Amino acid sequence: MKKKLFAGLATVLFLLTSTGIAMAGDDAKNKTENNNSKTTGLYDNVTILQEQINSLTERIGRIETLLGTWPRFADMSDGTIRDNDSGLIWLKDANCFGHLNWSDAMAAAASLKDGQCGLEDGSAATDWRLPTKDEWAAFFCPLEDPDCYDDPALVNRWGNKQWSEGDAFNRVQWESPDYWSSTDYGSNNAKWVADMGWGYMDFAIKSDTSCYVWPVRNDN
């Protein structure tokens, strides 16, 4: 009799244990599926939100372009100014080096890097250079613009008025105005220079002339 009772109790315990394990497994599975569902739903929501943000950003850019509110010069807050017309990056300080002859000007521009002239852009030596003649020509105010013709021949940040100190560049030299370019003038002994007072290109003998240095680099 005792053997039968023990056998019956053992059977009941086995059934109860098996059922509990099965129920626990089902609960764990359900929780996992719910968590996966929540994670998938959250991922989908984030993806949708990012797509909406991208679309909105694109629309804002189009509106700014249509309204002419996109600045000509964007201050990158790291000692540099981006020319949105050309994509070039200019040094914000237009007179970091003073007057130099052409060889020294080339060396100064090539050695410019983060930590110098107010730069915090992570740039390294050889990233910077002297502008070419064509880059200078595109940098000037349009000659037909009556609000920005000379003294200096440079527009402000928004490209709709003449430049003034701090908008967007600092210390632009236009009273003794020549800045070196990297482009030969006829021969290697002379170089084109940019007259920031009148907004035209002239030339100077590189060995015995001192001009200002305004480095530029490509937008990496």
- pLDDT higher than 50, residue 110: yes
Segment 132-167, tens digit of pLDDT: 999 999 999 876 677 776 789 998 999 888 999 999
Q: If pLDDT is split at 50, 70 and 90, which confidence band does 59 have?
A: low
Kindly report which listed range (23-32, 57-66, 122-131) carries the lowest average pLDDT score. Answer: 57-66
Average pLDDT across the chain, whole number: 81
What was the pLDDT predicted at 148? Answer: 76
Q: If pLDDT is split at 50, 70 and 90, which confidence band does 49 have?
A: confident
Nearest to 141 by CA among 218, 73, 198: 198
What was the pLDDT predicted at 26? Answer: 62
In sequence order, what are the residues at sequence separation of 6 or more whose Cβ sits closer than 8 angstroms to the Cβ of residue 106?
129, 130, 180, 182
What was the pLDDT predicted at 38? Answer: 59
Kindly state the percentage of the chain with pLDDT values over 70: 71
**Three-class DSSP category at 212:** strand
* Contact (CB, 8 A) for 91 and 194: no
What was the pLDDT predicted at 8? Answer: 46
* Contact (CB, 8 A) for 209 and 105: no
* Contact (CB, 8 A) for 93 and 118: yes
Three-state secondary structure along 3-35? HHHHHHHHHHHHHHHHHHHHHHHHHHHHHHHHH
What was the pLDDT predicted at 89? Answer: 98
CA distance 3 to 211: 112
What was the pLDDT predicted at 173? Answer: 94
Q: If pLDDT is split at 50, 70 and 90, which confidence band does 67 have?
A: very low
Segment 127-136, tens digit of pLDDT: 999 999 999 9
Segment 174-211, tens digit of pLDDT: 988 899 999 999 888 999 999 999 899 999 999 889 99
pTM, two decimal places: 0.68
Encoding tokens for residue 161?
């008025």
**Three-class DSSP category at 156:** coil
Task: Tell me which of 70 and 173 has the higher pLDDT.
Answer: 173
